[in-house]
A and B are shown apart, each in its own frame.
Chain A
Amino acid sequence: MSSRLAAITFNTFREAVRDRVLYNLIIFVLLLVASAPLFGQISIGLEKLILVNVGLTSISIFGIIIAIFIGIGLVSKEIEKKTLYTILSRPVRRWEFITGKYLGLVLTLVVNAVFMTIGFFVALFIATRTFTRDDAGLLLAIYFIILQFFIVTAITLLFSSFSSPIFSAVFAFALFVIGTFAEDLRNFAALAQGVTKWLATGAAWLVPNFSALNVISQVAHGDPIRPQLVLFNTVYALLYSVAAMAVAVLIFERRNLK
């Protein structure tokens, strides 16, 4: 089992790496990060702040775009091109297939984030000529961004296990936006009454909470992040991803593939 899972994971990774689209996006991000020092010229003293904000936000947003963009094709492309047929005719379980795809994409995103982080720190060094203790916080912010990738990839696969690529992209993106405002949803649920209250409360806990995983502003201002937050955010992100993938597996196992 694990060798099959590993094989599919690695193959998914290999596919993403050989897909030229990925390189274009990476180059774009690197350009963005490289141009950050220019922003610093406009507002004196805020150079590092702006660079951190732009850099981390780019890594986050582009990672999520890549996650959704590639994620929607992972399953649908295999069905459309019928490559899935020759996979299913082998001892591969359907759950192994979709989980392998998930792990492969997550691996791709992590590697991608590593390269972007290196680029980011290079830009930071060019701009500020030094590293301070606070910069460890930057790594923590990137770790949280990677946790976001875990969740986004899982929900993208969940949707693409049953709907077409375009709808999957739309739903996944919508869920990401809603998840960013998850706490406002909770506020709304607190104010609402009756049926609306129950629905809103349910939705508020069901929706992935991305605002908890976004510490870019804090880190940009050098504020420390509590270790317990790191622990529970990690647990949350992993468990949520597992839950989403479990649903994806349940759906995919029952699907009649064309």
Chain B
Amino acid sequence: MKGRRKSTTVAVLLLIAAFTGSVLALHQVDTIRGKQATLEEVLYIPSGKTLKRLSLGYSSLLADIYWTRAVQYFGQKHQQEALHYEMLDPLLDITTDLDPHLIIAYEFGSIFLSQPAPAGAGQPEKAAALVEKGIRANPTYWRLYFTLGYIHYFDRKDYKAAREAFQKGSEMPGAYFWMKVMAAEMAQRAGENSFATEIWSHLYESTQDAMVKDNARQHLTALSMEREIEEIQRRVETFRQRTNRLPAGWYDLVRAGLLQGVPVDPLNNPLKLMPDGTIQVADPAKIPFLTKGLPPGWKRPVKHQ
């Protein structure tokens, strides 16, 4: 069968040559298109919702593919220490449109988005919007609230919004108790004394854990002190409006009928009335978690427990 041997040889040689050539050509094609060639189309997709309809029920798989692309995209940009991650948000948006229950896309995606450039996209607003989208689709998943609270707290410094997120999340099934703690912390930073007190009181009452109880008590003490300082501050202002000058000492306020006596801190040390009218505690280091009545520039030393 000479003929067949010859055509076999030709076919095998052709196969090797053609396949090798095709791989080389493909390599060239890749180079020309650029590394994220597949993602070009992302710019052209009108909406993830359309894509979802087109995917004929396999949207969940497609979501996974887009999530993988988002991770790849982020990884490459991150490595290059890029300053612009333009396609990250669209990719994540499409991913979550395709599969609104893909929690990791919200959780990790929002972290990629919120981290400041060049580590991340530096788009905390977009990150928050993404997590809020995730919460709308998964309202009882408490971790999303945590992620949202974290973004508000860490990247946006919006403590009120953070408190809201942590508080709402703490009510969701399975939420870890420290969601409440975070909510309370945020409330305090936001100056929302009543919220903070409310949460700490609740924690104090509901917990069996001695350490947590003690922690809550300390917070409540600090908060109570802060309320008092605020109240005293208001009385000082009243005095100033009446007399057009700042009180020289506590007795001015007592004589004016605005105070009963010298106010003291929880350790029974008298508070200090400064010449500029502000209130300070004697030794802030002894009152943990106090955020008001501190000397300007004073930093709480880090406790090693």
Contacts and interface: CB of A to CB of B under 8 A. Distances in A.
B266 interface: no
A209 interface: yes
Nearest to A53: B44
A238 B291 CA distance: 73
A240 B32 contact: no
A232 B32 contact: yes
A191 B41 CA distance: 22
B19 A212 contact: no
B37 interface: yes
Interface stretch (B22-30, B210-218, B270-278): B22-30
Interface residues of B, number: 30
SS class, residues of chain B in contact with chain A: helix
B11 interface: yes
A181 interface: yes
A6 interface: no
B26 A209 contact: yes
Given A93-B3, A93-B7, A243 B15 contact: yes
Nearest to B72: A187
Interface string A233-255: 10110011011001101100100
Given A243-B22, A247-B15, A253 B4 contact: yes
A183 interface: yes
A190 B26 CA distance: 17
Contacts of A93: 3, 7
Interface in B18-53: 18-19, 21-23, 25-26, 28-30, 32-33, 37-38, 40-41, 44-45
Most buried by B among A187, A211, A235: A187
A209 B23 CA distance: 10
A205 B29 CA distance: 13
SS class, residues of chain A in contact with chain B: helix
A217 B32 contact: no
B260 interface: no
B37 to A, nearest CB: 7
Interface residues of A, number: 34
A211 B38 contact: yes
Interface stretch (A28-36, A69-77, A168-176, A218-226): A218-226
A189 B4 CA distance: 39
A212 B22 contact: no
Contacts of A253: 4, 7-8, 11
B267 interface: no
Contacts of A205: 23, 26
Nearest to B54: A57
A217 B44 CA distance: 6
A228 interface: yes
Interface in B66-88: 68-69, 72
B256 interface: no
A228 B32 contact: yes
Contact of B38 (A183, A221, A246): A183
A249 B11 CA distance: 7
B41 to A, nearest CB: 5
A220 B41 CA distance: 11
Nearest to A188: B68
Nearest to B23: A205
Given A246-B11, A246-B14, A246-B15, 8 more contacts: A212-B37, A218-B40, A220-B44, A221-B44, A236-B25, A236-B29, A240-B18, A243-B18
Interface of A: 93-95, 181, 183-184, 187-188, 190-191, 205, 209, 211-212, 217-218, 220-221, 226, 228-229, 232-233, 235-236, 239-240, 242-243, 246-247, 249-250, 253
List of 5 A-B pairs having minimum Cβ-Cβ separation, nearest first: A246-B15, A239-B22, A236-B25, A243-B18, A217-B44
13 contacts: A190-B72, A205-B26, A209-B26, A211-B37, A212-B29, A218-B44, A229-B32, A236-B29, A239-B18, A243-B19, A246-B12, A250-B15, A253-B11
